Amino acid sequence: MEQVIVNDVAPRDGLQNDPVAVSPGERAELIKRLVAAGLPAVEVAAFVSPKAVPKMAGATEVAAALDLDRADFSALVPNRKGYEMARAAGMRSVALVLSATETMNRRNINMGLDQAAAVCRETLQQARGDGLKARAYVAVAFECPYEGTVPDAEVERLAGDMFAAGAEEIIVADTIGAGNPTRAKALFGRMTAAFGAERLAAHLHDTRALALANAWQALECGVRKFDASAGGLGGCPFAPGAAGNLATEDLVSMLHQAGFQTGIDLTALLDVVSGMESLLGRPVGGRSLPWLRRRLAEDQAA
């Protein structure tokens, strides 16, 4: 069976805009539980200004609480300062975000597109020189909440620019969940033809209940790495209308039913989701969660 890598972003993208503030220690425990459930990769923190994203304060504390050899841990860095903080904290993998439009870059990191691209190039080159793994998001790859539909050619151009600067992987991000299966097939088909499926990942939000369908189209195009968020948590504080990420449990359930391997224990993952409900004080979970829990209860009763 083919292997698909799932990178859980709940500790970062999932919690960065949540109403509940989760302490660095609690975030570290969540990460440890995800790894224990078999997640091979986790985006653990964002090294950003706590004034800009208060829920991500304490990134250095999170990193210090982890065995950084335990999994493929990565951290989001918005600029060179964030990169230096992540490197000092011992992170070995960083992810930068380049939005595909002028306005989204200005709202997200207070830079225009050209300046943001230049900062990303400089930081990618620095990471490569320092021996760190570096990934780059092309955010709002389908649609921008401020400028509307983003041309596929622009996503390809920006991805090529980031690859040339030293990115090992490009994550095509549907930041506000505006994609649909027809568009996903076209964009991922174009991107895999241009760069090779093995160098790409997909980051999908479920605003319009199409994230799983879009993930399938990416799979059909050969993509074998996906971001997802346990419990379906997520949303960008700078992107109006961005709802939760594709739920890890939904993605893993689909992959297993379709015959792919992930190395993830779905029962243990459901326990993690239950723990997140206790932590946040409200129900969370993907669209398949009621069915998965019912099936688990039936199996345990048999």
The answer, yes or no, to whether residue 8 has pLDDT greater than 90, is yes
Per DSSP bridges, beta strands 41-46 and 133-139 are: unpaired
Residue spans of beta strands (DSSP E) within 175-275: 200-204, 225-228
The residues assigned a catalytic role are: 236
Q: Collapse the DSSP code of 196 into the 3-class scheme (helix H, G, I; strand E, B; otherwise coil) and give the result.
A: coil
Q: How far apart are CA 231 and CA 251, in angstroms?
A: 11
Residue spans of beta strands (DSSP E) within 128-274: 133-139, 143-144, 148-149, 169-174, 200-204, 225-228
Confidence of residue 90 (pLDDT cuts 50, 70, 90): very high
115's enclosing H/E stretch is: helix 113-130
The answer, yes or no, to whether residue 222 has pLDDT greater than 90, is yes
**Predicted pLDDT of residue 109:** 87
Burial, 296: exposed, middle or buried (Cβ in 10 Å; 0-12, 13-18, 19+)? middle
The average confidence (pLDDT) of the chain is: 95
The answer, yes or no, to whether residue 241 has pLDDT greater than 60, is no
**Predicted pLDDT of residue 301:** 84
Q: What is the pTM of this model?
A: 0.95
Q: What is the CATH number of the domain that holds 28?
A: 3.20.20.70
**Predicted pLDDT of residue 302:** 74
HSE of 105 in the Cβ direction (CA atoms, 13 Å)?
21
Angle subtended at Cα 130 by Cα 124 and Cα 134, rounded to the nearest 5 degrees: 35
Confidence of residue 240 (pLDDT cuts 50, 70, 90): low
Percent of the chain with pLDDT over 70: 97
**Predicted pLDDT of residue 63:** 98
Beta bridge partner(s), residue 8: 42, 228
The answer, yes or no, to whether residue 239 has pLDDT greater than 80, is no
Confidence of residue 20 (pLDDT cuts 50, 70, 90): very high
What's CA 83's distance to the chain center, in Å? 18
> What mean pLDDT do residues 261-275 have?
97
Beta bridge partner(s), residue 250: none
Q: What is the pLDDT of residues 173-216, one digit of tens each?
A: 999 999 999 999 999 999 999 999 999 999 999 999 999 999 99
Q: Nearest CA to 7 among 141, 203, 209, 273? A: 203
Domain count, the chain: 1
**Predicted pLDDT of residue 13:** 94
Q: What is the pLDDT of residues 95-118, one digit of tens each?
A: 999 999 999 999 988 899 999 999
Percent of the chain with pLDDT over 90: 92
Helices 211-220/248-257 angle, 10° precision: 50
Query: End-to-end distance of the chain based on CA atoms, in angstroms?
Result: 28
Q: How far apart are CA 69 and CA 275, in angstroms?
A: 24
The answer, yes or no, to whether residue 236 has pLDDT greater than 70, is no
Q: What is the pLDDT of residues 64-77, one digit of tens each?
A: 999 999 999 999 99
What is the greatest pairwise CA distance in the chain?
60
**Predicted pLDDT of residue 244:** 87
The answer, yes or no, to whether residue 162 has pLDDT greater than 70, is yes
Question: Which two tokens mark 274?
Answer: 């239950």
Q: Nearest CA to 73 among 5, 7, 3? A: 7
Q: How far apart are CA 169 and CA 149, in angstroms?
A: 23
Angle subtended at Cα 94 by Cα 81 and Cα 196, rounded to the nearest 5 degrees: 135
**Predicted pLDDT of residue 237:** 61
How many CB atoms sit inside 10 A of residue 268's CB?
14
The answer, yes or no, to whether residue 223 has pLDDT greater than 60, is yes
The answer, yes or no, to whether residue 238 has pLDDT greater than 80, is no
| Domain span at 264 | 5-301
